Amino acid sequence: MASVAQAATGLDCVERPQGLSFNDAVLTMIINCVGAGVVLFPKIMTDVGMIIAPLLCIICALVCLECGVMITSASEMAEKYLGTPIRTYEELADFAAPKWKPVLMVTKNVAFLGFVVAYMQLIIDSISTFSPEFFTEWATALRFAVVLPIFCFCAMIKDLTQLASFGTVGIIAVMIECGCIMGGGLTLMFQGKNGSYDVGPAVDIGELPGASGKYLAIFLFCFAILGTVPTVRGQLENPSEMHGVLSNSFIKLIFINCAVMLCGYLGFGDKAGDNVIVDFAALGGWFLYVGWAGSVAVIINVLLSTPLYFFCVMSVIEDAGSGPIFTQLSVPNIIFRLAMVTVLCLIGDQLPYVGEVIGIVSSVFACFLNILFPAICHFFARRKVDTKAAHPLFRQIKYVVSILVGILVLIFGFMGSLNTLMFKLAEDGAKQECEQNADAEFDSDKFAELFKLSQDVAAACTTSIVNAATDATTTTTTIIAATNAAKATVAAIVG
């Protein structure tokens, strides 16, 4: 995990005198991608079908691969121009698009905190597999009595070398997690206990764009390692191999993610839930142990990933000033860390929906970090060093496709995740009202009324996203015209 930790934050905390080999770099990228998010994959295939689901995964992977290549190329241009190595995403932003650097820092850290909220719920879901009835009834107590202290401890990290000794544990956890999903799913299929299969989408056609956008955002979360590219490249024995590292890593990731998703789906079919590990535990018998093993692996994976997010966020905060609160692990600093985790825990208590939280955070913040910003960075880096593309038309097409996919994820991913979140909140609210009155039955009209109100809220929230996407479309058009009018394009975008 040491190399993963370094890559996740852009900090060189572990010296590598020999440099990182090609295979080590590929392993770092893969382990950093294959995480707790794979438990959501079978549900994706259940909702959008056996054709669309892998297509979404492949599209997201290829776009992220191209954006990774853009980051690598921009880093190479910056190094040749400055004569100094580029080792972090922020350093690249400083060179290529300094006006965008504050936006980069805000979006990155908000995304990290949003992922922590989702991770808290994954821990709760995983613990609940050991006694569903008890932990479902005491979910709030579990969150604040167990999960909160654990995450408070994770937030106290001060040096990423503290995670160095857990590298093998992290790799084993990932292998167990994927193995449980694939082995359990295939066993269920051969035993004939699976549900029905559907090549086409299970959701209504009108809901398909929102569902596809939401699941593209979830795949984007799983591929959200592009901020690590400058650091991994800087650690390579031969930095020119970074293009090959990215291609090799993402091709393997496509096969791993699609295999896990397909095997989980073959096991449950249309019965797959939001968390396939929880589904295994609910079956009982031999599958109970599959669920337990997978849950332990998820917990380990989350606990090894979470400190990286906290460290990155706190590093930015502590670099912003020199008072006691900005001093690492001073009393005011510790109080701030504890307060931050408590607020995240309170948010998670109100939004206990992993897929929807990841979808919203990824569609807005991770979308910018991993798709839009690499294109912006590469474009301005080329203009700054006055370098022309070897194939200008092909480069324009890559810009346009990447930005269009980013805009689609931004709009439909946000809308789909928010609508699903509002639906679940309205449904839970109606059920709680019913439970408070034991004699009452579930009022479908009341639920419809609540859901209609939630949709109005979702529509209002989405308006700003659509406006932002319109601006992004205008920017894309400007970038296309930049080939023949570079100075005018740069002036328009900067202005």
Instruction: Tell me the mean pLDDT per 10 residues along the chain, length 495.
Output: 40 45 81 80 91 92 91 91 84 88 84 86 88 80 91 84 71 90 93 81 84 86 78 82 90 92 92 89 90 92 84 82 86 93 90 77 82 89 84 83 85 80 72 59 50 50 49 47 44 44
Residues 6+ apart with CB under 8 A from 209: 412, 416
Q: What is the pLDDT of residue 467?
A: 54
Out of 1.20.1740, 1.10.3720, 3.40.50, 1.10.3470, the CATH code matching 2-365 is 1.20.1740
Q: What is the C-alpha separation between 348 and 343, in angstroms, rounded?
A: 9
Q: What is the C-alpha separation between 421 and 454, in angstroms, rounded?
A: 9
Q: What is the C-alpha separation between 139 and 143, in angstroms, rounded?
A: 6
Backbone angles phi, psi at 330, to 5 degrees: -70, 170
Q: What is the pLDDT of residue 295?
A: 93
pLDDT in tens, 99-112: 888 888 888 888 88
8 A C-beta contact, residue 399 and residue 480: yes
Predicted structure pTM score:
0.75
